[in-house]
Amino acid sequence: MSRRDSSSAKALAGQRSRRRKGLTFLRMLRYGVNNFSRNAWLTVAATAVMTITLLIIFMTFVAQNVLSDTATVIGKTIDRSIYLKPETTDAEAKVIVDKIQRLDNVESVSYKSSAQARADYAKENKQNANTLEAINEATNRIPATINVVLDKVNDTSTLVKFVETDETIKKHIDPVRKPAFLSNRKDATNTIAGWTQFAQRVGIVASVLFVSISSLIIFNTIRMAIFNRKEEIQMMKLIGADKSFIRGPFVVEAVVYGCIAAVIATVLGILLLTSIAGKLRAYGVTIDPTVAMITSYVPIVLVAMIVLGAIIGIVSSLFATRRYLKI
């Protein structure tokens, strides 16, 4: 046989092998889908638990985003003021403002002079004659104020370090009034940070718990399916079926659980999110960015949920088949 004939024979053999593998794969998919409908009650139970699992993961993701956005908005309203001596000039204050603006994690800085603060206070209390008279007769002046808005609202470390180490601000800072982020208002920031971390931990624990329960139910579903088809599996072994062909339909069956559950969970999650958005918005919860993100990227969210459901199903089925198929 010539070299050319040998190459043609190898190419033909390769085509036949690929065609055979393709047909085997299609048969495996068909058997897996058929197995999905063999035991209706187990199928419904496994799909329902998988749906609950994926829905909890979806809502955990949403809740963490909403909480993070709300904490950021609330954090930006918390007073992070630095009080300067009343005699500090605008030029001296500008030097300090420029330094603060260059710090890491600082989003914006605003300055209000002592005279402006006094005028604003008088304007706010113009209906109170006693207050106006006290302001006019007072010998001490209201301190100038530098207001700082942080990017990461829970991190005041750079600001604290600046106040404690910079010689310029130490020269002009008001000795009577501490910066707001070093006084009692610091507790508000710590509270927000604490609740955010607590909610994240609860979400992670809930997700892990339900993923474990879902995996266990799918594991048991596949195990029962293996026991129900024990004779069929034994026959496939006797005729020389590959391990992957025997194991494949069970993996496909579990993937179908995950895919169907992912679609249901995504639809339920989006409906639930949009239905409660108005009520949460009325309570001041910053939910609009999360709603906009989810609704704008529905296909990506759906694909991510399907992939997650498929992974849970594949892992569960592989463990079950490895333990009970004995192949």
| Same domain, yes or no: 108 and 165 | yes
pLDDT at 327: 52
| Same domain, yes or no: 41 and 154 | no
Please name which of 68, 65, 54 lies closest in space to residue 269, comparing C-alpha atoms.
54
| Same domain, yes or no: 318 and 230 | yes
- pLDDT at residue 138 is higher than 50: no
The enclosing H or E element of 83 equals strand 81-84
Structure tokens at 168: 């310029």
| Same domain, yes or no: 221 and 162 | no
Measured between alpha carbons, how far is 174 from 101 in angstroms, rounded to an integer? 20
- Going across the sheet that includes 106-112, the strands are 81-84, 144-150, 106-112
CA dihedral 196, 202, 205, 211 (to 10 degrees): -100
Helices (H), 78-152: 90-101, 114-124, 129-137
Q: Which domain range does residue 135 map to?
A: 79-184
* 19 belongs to a structural domain: no
* 2 belongs to a structural domain: no
CB atoms within 10 A of CB 169: 21
pLDDT at 121: 63
Number of compact structural domains in the chain: 2
- 59: Cα separation from own chain's centroid: 9
CB 42 within 8 A of CB 221: yes
Measured between alpha carbons, how far is 49 from 300 in angstroms, rounded to an integer? 23
pLDDT at 33: 58
Q: Minimum mean pLDDT among 13-27, 124-138, 261-275: which range?
A: 124-138
The tens digit of pLDDT for each residue in 259-290 reads 889 999 999 999 999 898 888 888 878 888 88
* 6 belongs to a structural domain: no
Domain-terminating residue out of 184, 200, 229:
184
Mapping DSSP onto H, E and C, the string for 181-200 reads HHCCCHHHHHHHHHHHHHHH
CB 255 within 8 A of CB 313: yes
* 18 belongs to a structural domain: no
* 7 belongs to a structural domain: no
Reported as a pLDDT band with limits 50, 70 and 90, residue 89 is confident
Strand partners of residue 109 = 148
Residues 6+ apart with CB under 8 A from 170: 163
CB atoms within 10 A of CB 190: 11
| Same domain, yes or no: 195 and 319 | yes
Q: Among the ranges 8-12, 36-40, 170-174, 306-310, which has the highest mean pLDDT value? A: 306-310
Domain-terminating residue out of 184, 215, 242:
184
Give the CATH number of the domain where residue 146 resides. Answer: 3.30.70
CB 153 within 8 A of CB 76: yes
| Same domain, yes or no: 273 and 305 | yes
Q: Minimum mean pLDDT among 62-71, 197-206, 258-267: which range?
A: 197-206
Reported as a pLDDT band with limits 50, 70 and 90, residue 185 is low
Which has more confidence, 266 or 184?
266
| Same domain, yes or no: 108 and 168 | yes
| Same domain, yes or no: 205 and 87 | no
| Same domain, yes or no: 140 and 226 | no
Measured between alpha carbons, how far is 63 from 50 in angstroms, rounded to an integer? 20
Which has more confidence, 203 or 140?
203
Strand partners of residue 111 = 146
CB atoms within 10 A of CB 2: 7
Buried b (16+ CB within 10 A) or exposed e, 107-136: eebebbbbeebbeeeeeeeeeeeeeeeebe
Measured between alpha carbons, how far is 38 from 237 in angstroms, rounded to an integer? 21
* 213 belongs to a structural domain: yes
Domain-terminating residue out of 129, 155, 184:
184
Angle formed at CA 65 by CA 63 and CA 68, multiple of 5 degrees: 105
pTM for this structure? Answer: 0.65
| Same domain, yes or no: 292 and 155 | no
| Same domain, yes or no: 68 and 84 | no
**Mean pLDDT (whole number) for 87-94:** 85
Q: Among the ranges 116-125, 152-161, 201-210, 267-276, which has the highest mean pLDDT value? A: 267-276
| Same domain, yes or no: 218 and 172 | no
The enclosing H or E element of 209 equals helix 186-228
* 20 belongs to a structural domain: no
